[in-house]
Structure 1
Amino acid sequence: MPSPFPGMDPYLEDPVRWPDLHHSLITYIRNALQPQVRPRYHARIGERIYILQPPRALYPDVLLIRRPIREPSPVSAYAQAPQVAVTTEEEEGELEPIILTLPPVEHREPFIEIVHAAGEEVVTVIEVLSPANKTPGEGHRLYHRKQQEILNSNAHLVEIDLLVEGLHTVAISEEGKASLPSHRYLVSVNRAPDKYRFEVYPIPLQRRLPHIRVPLREPDPDVMVDLQAVFTQCYDDGGYEDFIDYRQPPPVALSPEEAAWVDGLLKGKGLRN
């Protein structure tokens, strides 16, 4: 069964489910590009590797160790002073601390490069944003640094953001983003060398994902990626219908308008009562 949504499925914005979809999107976008760009160019998958520190919340500020509470012994009516019980380690069952080691996590993040067959010069970089890119920390800092390097180079940059939650991350300014029609998802294309001009695809939840024009070196024409066809293949091959419970709300926030539309859509398809 295909996804019940005409475009992106918000149930797959779940950070737990996202890594599988992310890798599939990267692979199938590469596959869609390859026959269009060869033999003059080659589309290949690259990978960034960086270290994520464990979340601060994993480290308690105060460690409380509970010990067994003994029932008090009966006290004589004549006793005036408090009684202090002295017990041995064997009697009390002394609790030892538990040692937790929370090592940093190695994070691998794929992206696509279109390179010129002669000399392997990078012509275009295609990024599908991940939760790590949009969360404060090393992943966001590293992505922003790489983004600026590309914008200051001779390479084109295509950014695909199918995640509503997290920090503003795409290269267009927040002011520019705010001026766009109402949307949930965003695709941004920057053509080198003009780092301040963007072709932007604002995508509401209710709409099909667009065909994206991917630039190459002039005078070669753009190539097209049907992002909806790519997503549909990811959904079908991933078997996501087997574990998504559409009777429940998605694990990410919806606006009131989106929630009402989702409820009507899923009821109309018999996936909700």
Structure 2
Amino acid sequence: MLKSLISRTAKTPRAPRIRRVCVSPIIVKNRQTLTDSTITNVVVAAPTSEPIKVKIPMPVSIREGYLEVREVETEILITTIEILSPTNKRIGKGRQIYEEKRAQVLASRTNLVEIDLLRKGDPMPMMGNDIQSHYRLLVCRGDRRPYADLYAFNLPDIIPAFPLPLRSGDTEPVIDLQTLLNEVYDIYGYDLVVDYSQQPVPALSEADAAWADALLQHKGLR
């Protein structure tokens, strides 16, 4: 009985399986060893004992001023006066910063006076206005928005005087900007600083160039 049980449960040993692995032959052709003679077109800088002076670009910081009219006792901002600079009118970061500041003022009750005495560059945005002029004065009262008063004028024109907006009920002084600029020009001797033999940038139209040339000759500056 025991032998019969053993004979039934015992497993017949199997022959081990042999796996065949085929290895493809590796053929190496034209094997070469790199030497100094085979390396070409390599430039090696000779070590220097002294450093080479170089110049790197630096960030340019431009400070732009503005005027504010505030109440004496409370310091409440009544009016902001902005004189546009070339960076304000040139497409780029300077214009973006100014337009953001302009939007903040227009979103408040603060009056805005914007003076643009630059012929070059795009004027500040205004809705439904396609007036073409060399220069602009914008008087925007906080209690009358979105409407504002625009003074548009060209090179031969006298700069128009404008009222400085204050709080409702206050007496508003009239700003004669042309007279102020004439006085600053004379006090600081700009006739000795500006080279009037050079042509202005951007170039003037034929009519404006003739007007400017006649004026400068009359003043003895050309």
- State the TM-score, normalized to the length of structure 1: 0.59
Output aligned runs, 1:134-145, within 5 Å. Answer: 134-145=89-100
Q: Distance in 2 between matches of 1:157 and 1:128?
A: 11
1:225 correspondence with 2:175: yes
Cα 1:89–1:233, aligned 2, differ >3 Å: closer, same or farther? same
User: Helix, strand or coil for the counterpart of 1:189?
Assistant: strand
Output aligned runs, 1:143-154, within 5 Å. Answer: 143-154=98-109
AA of the residue aligned to 1:255: S
User: Helix, strand or coil for the counterpart of 2:103?
Assistant: helix
C-alpha distance after superposition, 1:119-148 (max 9, x if no partner): 111110000000111112221111000101
- 1:98 to partner: Cα distance: 5.9
Q: Distance in 1 between matches of 2:194 and 2:58?
A: 31
Match of 1:205 in 2: 155
Q: Distance in 2 between matches of 1:225 and 1:109?
A: 21
Output aligned runs, 1:33-182, within 5 Å. Answer: 99-169=54-124, 171-173=125-127, 175-176=128-129, 178-179=130-131
AA of the residue aligned to 1:124: T
User: Helix, strand or coil for the counterpart of 1:157?
Assistant: strand
- 1:190 to partner: Cα distance: 0.5
Match of 1:241 in 2: 191
Q: Distance in 2 between matches of 1:143 and 1:89?
A: 49
Q: Distance in 1 between matches of 2:120 and 2:56?
A: 30
C-alpha distance after superposition, 1:172-215 (max 9, x if no partner): 34x41x23xx5311100001133321111112111111212111
Q: Distance in 2 between matches of 1:263 and 1:160?
A: 26
Match of 1:57 in 2: none
Question: More strand per residue: 1 or 2?
Answer: 1
AA of the residue aligned to 1:108: R
User: Helix, strand or coil for the counterpart of 1:265?
Assistant: helix
Cα 1:97–1:224, aligned 2, differ >3 Å: closer, same or farther? same
Unaligned runs of 5+ in 1: 1-83
Contact 1:172 1:198 in 2 (8 A): no
AA of the residue aligned to 1:258: D
Higher Rg: 2
User: Helix, strand or coil for the counterpart of 2:94?
Assistant: helix
Aligned residues: percent identity? Answer: 35
User: Helix, strand or coil for the counterpart of 1:107?
Assistant: coil
Match of 1:257 in 2: 207
User: Helix, strand or coil for the counterpart of 1:110?
Assistant: coil
- Flag the structure with more relative contact order, 1 or 2, with Cα contacts below 8 A and sequence separation at least 6: 1
Q: Distance in 2 between matches of 1:172 and 1:233?
A: 32
Q: How many residues align?
A: 180
Match of 2:13 in 1: none
Measured on the aligned residues, the alpha-carbon RMSD in Å equals 2.6
